[in-house]
Amino acid sequence: MIKNYFKIAWRNIRKRKSVALINILGLALGFSCAILIFLFIQFHLTFDNFHKDSDRIYRFVSEVHRDHIAYKSTVPPALPNVFKNDYNYAEKVAKIIDRGEQLITVNSGATPQRYKPRTAFVEPDFFRIFNFPLIDKDFSDELTAPNTAIITREMAKKLFGDTSPINQTFIWDNKDTIRVTGVLKDLPKNTLINSRVFISFKTLQTSDRTSWIATESWTGTATSLQCFTLLRLNQDPLKIEQEMKKWPAKYHPEPVSTEDHYKLQPFPDIHFDSRYSNSINIKLLWILGAIGFFLILIACINFINISAAQSVYRSKEVGVRKVLGSFKDQLFRQFLTETFLITLIALIIGFGLSVLFLPFFNNTFNLSLSKNGLINFRFAGFIAILLIGVAILAGSYPGIILARIAPVLALKRKLTQSDTGSSLTRKILVTSQFVISIVLIIAVLVIGKQIKYATSSDLGYDTSTIVMVGLPETLEQAQLNTLKNKIVQSSNIKRVSICFTSPGAQTDGWGTDVNFNGNPKYEKFLIQSKMGDEDYIETFGIQLVAGRNFIKKDSVDEVLVNETFGTKIGINSPEELLGKPIKISDDYIQGRIVGVVKDFYNQDFHGTISPVFIAPAPDLWYNEIGVKINRKNTKEALQHIEQQWTSYFPNFIFEYAFLNDRVTEMYKSEQQFLSLTRLFSFLAIFIDGLGIYGLVSFFVAQKTKEVGIRKVLGGRVIDILGLFFKDFFTLIGIAGLIASPIAWYFMNDWLQHYAYRTQINWWVFALPIGCVLVLTLLIASYKGYRAATANPVKSLRSE
Amino acid sequence: MIKITDLEKYYRTEEVQTVALNKLSFDVREGEFVAIMGPSGCGKSTLLNILGLLDDPDGGSFIFNGIEVSGFNERKRANLRKHNIGFVFQSFNLIDELTVYENVELPLIYTGVKATDRKNRVHEVLEKMQIMHRRNHFPQQLSGGQQQRVAVARAVVNNPKLILADEPTGNLDSSNGNEVMDLLTELNQQGTTIIMVTHSEHDAKFSHRIIRMLDGQKVTENVLV
Ligand SMILES: Nc1ncnc2c1ncn2[C@@H]1O[C@H](COP(=O)(O)OP(=O)(O)O)[C@@H](O)[C@H]1O
Ligand SMILES: [Mg+2]
């Protein structure tokens, strides 16, 4: 029986190729998206799930209680040591300092080879807490001595080629010679840890400006430091946290609020706990999952509508089968088998497409999904559910319609539309397809609009004319000043500032404690620091609203603050702030306020403008040079900067970025989400279009006779096209009415993540509806026009 | 074998109610060959559909093989039909997507005959209908006469006790028509009961008895043998 079903199914597919093509293509596209989305979701759900004792691993984090709670994924560097040495909680404790890209030089051959791999400094137990195995051996005394490192296999290959990397050396940041003592298996992509070079923590204690992090300090924290512990068996983290609650008062009373709280964050929670850094919002996975589902739903609806309509052509077969004694449920099963076959073909094609497009997908959306994610039971289960689910979802309704065709009618005459499913059902289905597409397009428009708003609004500082140039880590003040003077000496350079970083950051950390006007207590809020020399505000175009800029001198005793600082203090007139003493972060900076600057967006549009101070750095904590250039001669300006820079730092790699690119970069995840949504909405519309084409083709075939008659009676082509438009016009209108509030609800919710939001205007709704309308009309007119202009005699005869 | 009494069937459309069968009664004995004649629209096809258990009467009684079947549900009717009744239509009604062989095999699949037995049986019937050489062709590739022979083959493949034929020669020329009539006669001589609707006095002469209808009622009955 099954064989017979498959046979006839296959012959039907071949007989009505265009219909099969529409169905299969739509489903295949839906499937390939679903598979890619599956990979994406799986990637995140399996994040760091390969560590043996995951349930006992915790990250030390802090809750900083001021006027609001700030969540830091770090603790003072002394804390882990106390935790390990003075208490009995931990089996192992390890710190890691992620220093981002570091300069690494290998002196093999004639010219030194320079690389900038992501580099971290780790304590030896780090690799005993986590499951990142060495190649060919177990951990013994790796990373215990200063100036040693272990590197990944991929990195070893890059640095040393095919020679054995063990005991080879490289130079870090042009100062320390580091010896490789071990090679790690390449790290998986779905882990929090993404460094390639791991240098022993002890190396930091001998030199380097981060040395304070490496010592037993309770003052100050840096996100680059993360601390992990593997608790002993049967420890209650809540009890431990209770004990840790006493620590701020015990170890570091002022200015740290005694309400600050050090906590243990369960390691498996890290990836989705969006309060802390290194996380993604789990909602994103839900949204993508829903989009995948809806794409498949659109394709299923195509299948349902087209198959139901096409059942007219199957009525004779159904009639005959019933005459020959077939039961209803046999016919239903037959049709399900056919659907299953089509679904299977679509799935195979969809699978092929997704494998084919995976590299492209990864590239475009900056992902690192692997084909290996498709070889597991989870995926097999997913595919099985997809196959069976879609076959049932798409096949049931047409199957019921076919099975209930009365044989007497079927054999007597061709069936009419009303015998092939109610037109109301079809209208509801088509409308819901339109709803999905319209919602997706609205989402694309709103996301795009918000990104545009965030990147092209006036941020309170210049972005388009400024180039940020990196600085090596060890420098001297004199060296910097001469470099600055050299760079300024070009007509294409307008201004130069040496600074810690540009005025805007994606998220501006949590800030430091501030004491104003000699008050007995530190303020209830934290202040952000913008360290830069006396040219900082001029270079970046930050405006003064009161007082003056600070003057260049050897000691730091003059400070600028922004308007928000005044508001937070409760002083609304900037003039009143002038001359008032200010103390920042435990006497790190002590001085007077000499000027107040206009508020600028110190972080991206997610966060509100914080209280900010601008001052020169007391120690040499400068990271970058901001150069305001003449954009008319960008190339010459860049050449000039590079020339000067490399003559000062011949052993380092020159790197620069335009500040407006950096601002765009802040919205990378939004951009990525936008690209994904754009792709999916395009596909939704495309699959919609396929369905419309299929339906219209069918109706045209049905109406050819009617159209022919009307033409004979003297109807104009336009009247005839009206036949097709009228229906779709209403359906799209209804779809627009349903889609708009739904989309508004979700997009408004999405916008709540931003402190500064774009408007959702009327055209955000009108445009997608218009798009769908135009597309539908184009398809309908193409098909309708051909029918309408066909020779009426011919179409009458063919009936 | 068949006893119908006061059989009634109405069709309702929005405006009108048509009486297709109006208290129709007659018997058919096993082994009989009955022709039903009458003008177009008098209810012949409706009658045949009810006799073939494709449709339910609105009133009256229909006893098939001693069982009252008028109240049967669709499943029971299908079960009874596939084992006992074969159909031949004016427009052949072969499934276009199946070959000659597969069309004829279909009733055997529905009655659950094993694959090897099916093969033997289909070959046997195709031989008999002299259409064996065309077994791998599709219906559209055959002439009308050949298609009707396939349809007859399909109708008899299950060895039904009753064959219902609705104008089986209506779409055929006279020589093909005669061939089909010869086939039916032969089947009847081997014991199959046949009820045939026809417009042709010529064809009706092959039967034992002619029932003439008008407006859903029986008008006359001529016994020929
Ligand atoms: N499905 C139907 N719906 C409405 N009327 C029908 C239907 N089938 C048959 N009829 C009507 O019932 C009457 C008998 O039809 P039918 O049995 O097909 O006649 P015959 O086969 O003798 O030409 C006719 O008036 C016909 O119009
Ligand atoms: Mg008839």
Question: Residue A193 — φ and ψ, nearest 5°?
Answer: -90, 115
Cα(A322) to centroid(ligand 2), Å: 19
Closest by Cβ to A325, choosing from B45, B78, B102: B78
Q: What is the pLDDT of residue A796?
A: 44
Q: At B171, which CATH number? A: 3.40.50.300
Residue A150's pLDDT is what? Answer: 95
As a whole number of angstroms, the distance between CA A315 and CA A307 comes to: 12
- Mapped onto helix, strand or coil, the DSSP state of residue A163 is coil
CA distance A696 to A782: 10
Token look-up 């207590």 returns A521
Q: Do B102 and A7 touch (CB under 8 A)?
A: yes
The Cα A256–Cα B32 span in angstroms is: 109
Q: Which residues pair with B67 in a beta bridge?
A: B64
Answer yes or no: is the C-beta of B48 below 6 A from any ligand 1 atom.
no
Q: Cα(A616)–Cα(A674) distance, rounded to whole angstroms? A: 39
Least distant ligand from the CA of B24:
1
Q: Going by DSSP bridges, is the β-strand pair A148-152/A197-200 parallel, antiparallel, or unpaired?
A: antiparallel
Q: How confident is the model at residue A799 (pLDDT cuts 50, 70, 90)?
A: very low
**pLDDT for A227 beyond 90:** yes
pLDDT for the residue A703: 65
CA distance to partner chain B, nearest, from residue A336 (Å): 18
Amino acid at position A224, single letter = S
Q: Residues for chain A: how many in total?
A: 799
Going by C-beta distance under 8 Å and a sequence separation of 6 or more, which residues neighbour residue A598?
Answer: A460, A542, A543, A544, A545, A562, A563
Residues of A in contact with B54 (CB under 8 A): 322-323, 407-408
**A13, A321, A324, A408, best to mutate vs chain B, most B CBs in 10 Å:** A324
Q: Which chain B residues are within 8 Å of A319, Cβ to Cβ? A: 93
Q: Which residues pair with A613 in a beta bridge?
A: A529, A561
Using an 8 Å CB-CB cutoff, list residues of chain B that contact chain A: 45, 49, 52, 54-55, 74-75, 78-79, 81-83, 87, 89, 91, 93-98, 102, 106-107, 109-111, 154
**Alpha-carbon span A639 to A627, nearest angstrom:** 13
For residue B27, pLDDT over 70 is answered with yes
User: How distant is the alpha carbon of residue A768 from its chain centre?
Assistant: 24
Ligand 1 contacts CB of residue B11 (under 6 A): yes
Predicted confidence (pLDDT) at residue A355 exceeds the cutoff of 60: yes
Q: Mutate which of A315, A405, A408 to test ligand 1's pocket (most atoms within 8 Å of Cβ)?
A: A408
Among the partner-chain residues B55, B74, B93, the one whose CB lies closest to the CB of A408 is B55
Both tokens of B115, joined, read 């694959």
Distances in Å between the Cα of A256 and the Cα atoms of A219, A220, A249, B176 are 9, 10, 8, 107
- Residue in chain A closest to B106 (alpha carbons) equals A324
DSSP A418-452: GGGS-HHHHHHHHHHHHHHHHHHHHHHHHHHHHHH
Distance between alpha carbon A512 and the CA centroid of its chain, in Å?
A: 29
At A249, the pLDDT band (50, 70, 90 cuts) reads confident
* Complete edge-to-edge strand list for the sheet that includes strand B59-64: B17-28, B2-12, B59-64, B67-68
pLDDT score recorded for residue A704: 63
Write down the pLDDT at residue A601.
Answer: 94
Burial of A369 (0-12, 13-18, 19+ CB in 10 A): buried
Under a CB-based contact definition with an 8 Å cutoff, are residues A717 and A785 in contact? yes
User: For position A678, what pLDDT does the model report?
Assistant: 93
Residues 6+ apart with CB under 8 A from A739: A434, A435, A438, A439, A442, A765, A768, A769
Those residues with Cβ within 8 angstroms of residue A59's Cβ, 6 or more apart along the chain or in another chain:
A73, A226, A227, A228, A264, A265, A267, A270
Residue B58 identity: D
DSSP A770: H
Distance between CA atoms of residues A677 and A443, nearest Å = 8
Average pLDDT over residues B129-133: 92
For residue B112, give Cα distances in angstroms to A127, B52, B82.
67, 20, 10
Q: Name the band, by pLDDT with cuts 50, 70 and 90, for residue A620.
A: low
Say which residue the tokens 């020159």 belong to: A654
Largest CA distance in chain A: 103
* Ligand 1 within 6 A of CB of B42: yes
The three-state secondary structure class of A407 is helix
Around ion ligand 2, residues with a beta carbon closer than 5 Å are B 45
Question: Which atom of ligand 1 is nearest the CA belonging to A409?
Answer: 1
The pLDDT score that the predictor gives to residue B80 is: 93
User: Does any ligand 1 atom lie closer than 6 A to the CB of residue B17?
Assistant: no
What is the per-residue pLDDT for A798? 39
Query: For residue A66, what pLDDT is reported?
Result: 80
Cis peptide before A359 (omega within 30 of 0): no
Structure tokens at A94: 């390890």
Residue percentage of chain A with pLDDT more than 70: 91
Q: For A123-145, what is each residue's pLDDT tens digit?
A: 999 999 999 989 888 888 889 99
Element (H, E) at A792: helix A792-798
Nearest-angstrom CA–CA distance, B150 and A114: 83
Residue to test with chain A: of B46, B51, B93, B154, most A Cβ within 10 A: B93
For A688-719, the pLDDT digits (tens) are 999 988 888 777 776 665 656 555 555 555 66
Hey, what are A259's tokens? 């309400």
From the CB of residue A66, how many other CB atoms can be counted at a distance below 10 Å?
17
What whole-number distance in Å separates Cα of residue A423 and Cα of residue A309? 10
Grade residue A299 by pLDDT with cuts at 50, 70 and 90. very high
pTM of the model: 0.86
- Whether B135 lines ligand 1, by a CB cut-off of 6 Å, is no
Q: Helix, strand or coil for residue A387?
A: helix
pLDDT band per the 50, 70, 90 thresholds, residue A252: confident
Average pLDDT, chain B: 93
Binary contact (A1, B49; C-beta < 8 A): no
Mark yes or no for CB contact A411/B52 under 8 Å: no
In chain B, which residue's Cα lies nearest the Cα of A12? Answer: B97
Does the structure show a pLDDT above 60 at A793? no
The CA distance from A450 to the nearest CA of chain B, in Å, is 56
- Which residue, judged by its Cα, is nearest atom 14 of ligand 1? B43
What is the predicted pLDDT for the residue at B71? 86
A4, A5, A323: best to mutate for the B interface, most B CBs within 10 A: A323
Integer Cα distance of A178 and A201 in angstroms: 12
Whether the CB of B103 sits within 6 Å of ligand 1: no
| CA-proximal residue: ligand 1, atom 16 (nearest) | B43
What pLDDT does A246 receive?
Answer: 87
Chain A closest-CA separation from residue B113 CA (Å): 11
Categorize the per-residue pLDDT at A259 as very low, low, confident or very high, splitting at 50, 70 and 90.
confident
**Which of A7, A319, A324 lies nearest to residue B110, judging by beta carbons?**
A324
Give CA torsion, residues A192, A195, A201, A204, to 10 deg: -120
Q: What is the pLDDT of residue B104?
A: 96
Q: Chain B: residue nearest A3 by CA?
A: B109
Q: What is the mean pLDDT of chain A?
A: 88
With bands split at pLDDT 50, 70 and 90, how would you rate the model's confidence at A211?
low
pLDDT in the model for residue A409 = 82
User: For residue A12, what are its two tokens?
Assistant: 């039907």
For A10, nearest residue in chain B (alpha carbons): B97
The ligand 1 atom nearest the CA atom of B12: 4
A343 CB within 8 Å of a chain B CB: no
Which one, of A37, A637, A77, lies nearest residue A365 by Cα? A37
Neighbours of A473 (CB within 10 A): 20
Query: In the prediction, which pLDDT does A256 show?
Result: 56
Buried b (16+ CB within 10 A) or exposed e, A696-724: bbbbbbebbeebbebbeeebeeeebbebb
Q: How far is CA A538 from CA A496, A615, A687, in A?
A: 9, 13, 54
Q: What is the pLDDT of residue A795?
A: 46
Residues of chain B with C-beta less than 8 angstroms from the C-beta of A330: 110
Distance of CA A750 to the CA centre of its chain: 14
SS3 A404: coil
Closest CA of chain B from A327, distance in Å: 6
A650: helix, coil or strand? coil
Do A315 and A419 contact (CB within 8 A), yes or no? yes
Q: Which of A509, A504, A501, A586 is nearest to A73 (CA)?
A: A509
The pLDDT of residue A586 is: 65
At residue A218 the predicted structure's pLDDT band, cuts being 50, 70 and 90, is confident
- CA-based end-to-end distance of chain B: 19
Which ligand 1 atom is the nearest neighbour of the CA of B9? 12
Query: Which residues, in sequence order, are CB contacts of A115 under 8 Å at separation 6+?
Result: A103, A104, A105, A106, A158, A159
Task: Judge whether A285 and A376 are in contact, CB under 8 Å.
Answer: no
Q: Which residues of B touch A316 (CB under 8 A)?
A: 93, 95-96
Question: How many structural domains is chain B composed of?
Answer: 1
- pLDDT at residue B48 tops 50: yes
The pick from B14, B21, B46, B195 for probing ligand 1's pocket by mutation, whose C-beta has the most ligand atoms within 8 angstroms, reads: B46
* Residues A34, A680: Cα–Cα separation, whole Å: 10
Q: What is the pLDDT of residues B140-189, one digit of tens each?
A: 999 999 999 999 999 999 999 999 999 999 999 999 999 999 999 999 99
Residues in chain A closer than 8 A to B98 (CB atoms): 7-8, 11
Which tokens in the block code for residue A589?
Answer: 């900076």
A7 near B CB under 8 A? yes
pLDDT for position A625: 93
- Which tops the pLDDT comparison, A304 or A555? A304
SS3 track for A567-611: HHHCCCCHHHHCCCEEEECCCCEEEEEEEEECCCCCECCCCCCCC
Chain B residues with beta carbon closer than 8 angstroms to that of A15: 97
Nearest CB partner across the interface for B49, out of A12, A321, A408: A408
Q: Which domain holds residue B18?
A: 2-223
- Which residues sit opposite A499 in a β-bridge? A532, A624
Please give the distance, rounded to the nearest whole angstrom, from the Cα atom of residue B208 to the centre of ligand 1: 26
Please name which of A561, A563, A568 lies closest in space to residue A593, comparing C-alpha atoms: A561
User: Ligand 1 in contact with B18 (CB < 6 A)?
Assistant: yes
- Cβ-based neighbours of A766, under 8 Å, separated by 6 or more: none
The values of phi and psi at residue A151, to 5°, are: -135, 160
User: Mean pLDDT across the stretch B192-201?
Assistant: 95
What's the distance, Cα to Cα, between the start and end of chain A in Å? 35
Residue A493's CB is within 10 A of a number of other CB atoms, namely 21
Tell me which residue has its CA closest to atom 13 in ligand 1. Answer: B20
Tokens describing residue A224: 């680059």
Arithmetic mean of pLDDT, A720-732: 78
Pick the residue whose CA is nearest to atom 1 on ligand 1. A409
What is the percent of chain B where pLDDT is above 90?
84
Structure tokens at A623: 């990271």
Length, in residues, of chain B? 225
Q: Counting runs of H as helices and runs of E as strands, what totals does chain B give?
A: 7, 10
Q: Give pLDDT, residue A205.
A: 64
A151: left (phi over 0), alpha (psi -120 to 50) or beta: beta
CA A532, CA A612: separation in Å to the nearest integer?
A: 13
User: How much is the pLDDT for A797?
Assistant: 44
Ordered DSSP codes for A112-178: -EEE--EEEEE-TTHHHHS--PBSSS--SSTT-STTEEEEEHHHHHHHHTTS--TT-EEEETTTEEE
Q: What count of other Cβ atoms lies within 10 Å of the Cβ of residue B98?
A: 20
Contact A769, A438 (CB under 8 A): yes
pLDDT of residue A142: 86
